[in-house]
Structure 1
Amino acid sequence: MTQQFTALVTGAGSGIGRATAVHLAALGHAVVVADVDEEGGRATVAQIESSAGAASFVVADIAEEPAVQAMVEYAVTTYGRLDLAVNNAGVAHAPTDLHELPAEDFDRVIAVDLRGTFLCLKHEIAAMLATGGGRIVNVASNAGVKNAPAMAGYTAAKHGVVGLTKNVALQYARRGIRLNAICPGTVLTEGLAGYPEEHQAHWREMVPTGRLGRPEDIAAIIAFLLSDDAEMMQAALVLADGGLMYA
């Protein structure tokens, strides 16, 4: 990119979201860090500021429309406009057979992962249209294009994010909005790093490249999708799973 923008990253208090916020700030963009985890979100801001980057934190539960609207308004009020958005916030349920999956767990995953992405798109796009357009990446999952065993709710939600991405990208393709999705595989976030080594070794063995993804790997691809170099990418689904999709 040849100019600096205002970027909004949801779920930026840890993992892929934090790595993405840090990466975008290193490129010179002002970053709004959004998360329900205030401690994690403020730690991300502190990390960015320690490298002389520009960032600020806003608490937001993306399952709630008033919170999403306030989040986007905060970005616009603080930095004057919204140019880039990364819809990364999401939750999952524990692996279980469908007949034993609590309805409230299913509802929560749909509310955050699918409805939350819809709400973010709704308010981000409105803000971007007011200033001529913008660029958005939805963080889906390879579970959005394949099956995640014993994860029916998560698989359904991420398939929904993929479908939403395709539909909305084409709606706004000639109105200055560029929208794509990234579909990571198993990424060694803080949560997975806490599992025993034998579990991690099993996961690595499943990946054709022989290693798990790092949050920084995904952040770099997201930054590319938001850049001028990805100008011809619209409604794209970018697999970032080390070949696991086809293993």
Structure 2
Amino acid sequence: MSRSVLVTGGNRGIGLAIARALADAGDQVAITYRSGEPPKELAELGCLAVKCDITDPEQVEQAYKEIEDAHGRVEVLVANAGITRDQLILRMSEEDFQAVLDTNLTGTFRVVKRAARGMLRARTGRVVLISSVVGLLGSAGQVNYAASKAALVGFARSLARELGSRNITCNVVAPGFVDTDMTRALPEERQAEIVGQVPLGRYAEPAEIAAAVRFLASDEAAYITGAVIPVDGGLGMGH
């Protein structure tokens, strides 16, 4: 049966791959995007694209209303939207620290809280939060990003305990370095340095992250909740 799925930040990179995987599986997928125009591929997949800045509570509410009108209540939420503002801590401004937490953590809180309303009434639901290996391993110059992504683990595990009796699961996928526009823009030396730290010796493909999300959103994962699934080529093992 086709489910109503929302993927935040689903217009590019990992989010787009997740939207594609769930749409290919037969779900009705909506995505949010903050700026620019969503790729034509989304329309071809039958996905609904809704402009929404998840740092704005009113925009989040309006996005949900639009999605519910088109697809019904959200049954699967993938909270993927996030930003980076990297800088060494002595040079990091309060604004840059707060902006990353506002999007990556507080924005996730907003979209999860709104989805949980319908999931609780239906007594079923799937929530998948996209964290990062950096949230477990740490990364110099990313104290804001790492803090926001580490916080998602505690968030998910608390939510799993809170909502588990209603057949709602909440899990975390922690990607490593992924072959996206962002990583391709890095200098070759930096790319080689990153790959050299990964036991499997390569970046992940966005589709490999999407496969883990699709599994956690499926019936096969009905007894998995509060889990952190690393898709990082072994980079963060032991954490």
DSSP-derived class of the 1:245 partner: coil
Gaps of 5+ in 2: none
The residue that corresponds to 1:158 in the other structure is 149
Q: CA deviation at 1:95?
A: 3.3
Q: Quote the Cα distance in structure 1 between the aligned partners of 2:7 and 2:155.
A: 18
Query: Is the aligned partner of 1:13 residue 2:11?
Result: yes
Does residue 226 in structure 1 map to residue 217 in structure 2? yes
2:128 aligned to which of 99, 118, 137: 137
Aligned letter for 1:83? E
Write the deviation string for residues 193-245 of structure 1: whole angstroms up to 9, x where unpaired: 12233332221111000001111110111000101111111010111111101
Task: Give the alignment's Cα RMSD to 1 decimal.
Answer: 1.4
- Determine the structure 2 residue equivalent to 1:47: 41
Name the aligned partner's letter for residue 112 of structure 1. T
1:235 maps to: 226
Q: Supply the distance in 1 between the matched residues of 2:231 and 2:182 (Cα, whole angstroms).
A: 19
**Amino acid in structure 2 at the alignment position of 1:77:** D
Aligned to 2:72: 80
The residue type paired with residue 62 of structure 1 is I
SS of alignment partner, residue 32 of structure 1: strand
Measured in 2, the distance between the counterparts of 1:48 and 1:60 equals 16
Looking at structure 1, the residues matched to 68 and 123 of structure 2 have their Cα atoms a distance apart, in angstroms, of: 14
How far does residue 33 in structure 1 lie from its aligned partner after superposition?
1.3
Q: 8 Å contact 2:42–2:49 — kept in the other structure?
A: no
Instruction: Note if contact 1:38-1:59 (Cα within 8 Å) is conserved in structure 2.
Output: no
Residue identity in the other structure for 2:73: R
For residues 1-247 of structure 1, the aligned pairs below 5 Å read 3-39=1-37, 41=38, 43=39, 46-50=40-44, 53-96=45-88, 98-246=89-237
TM-score by length of 2: 0.95
Larger mean Cα displacement after TM superposition, 139-148 or 189-198: 189-198
Contact kept in structure 1, 2:119 and 2:125, CA below 8 Å: yes
* Secondary structure of the corresponding residue to residue 99 of structure 1: helix
SS of structure 2 residue aligned to 1:91 = coil
Letter of the 2:222 counterpart: E
Identity %: 32
Q: Give the 3-state SS of the residue equivalent to 2:183 in structure 1.
A: helix
**Structure 1 residue 37 displacement after superposition:** 2.3
Q: Which amino acid aligns with 2:125?
A: G
CA distances 1:74-109 after superposition (whole Å, capped 9, x unpaired):
22111122111100000111231x121111000100
Q: Which moved more, 1:189-198 or 1:138-147?
A: 189-198
Return the alpha-carbon distance in structure 1 between the equivalents of residues 116 and 167 of structure 2. 10
Q: Is the Cα–Cα contact under 8 Å of residues 179 and 203 in structure 2 kept in the other structure? A: yes
What is the one-letter code of the residue matched to 2:57?
A: E
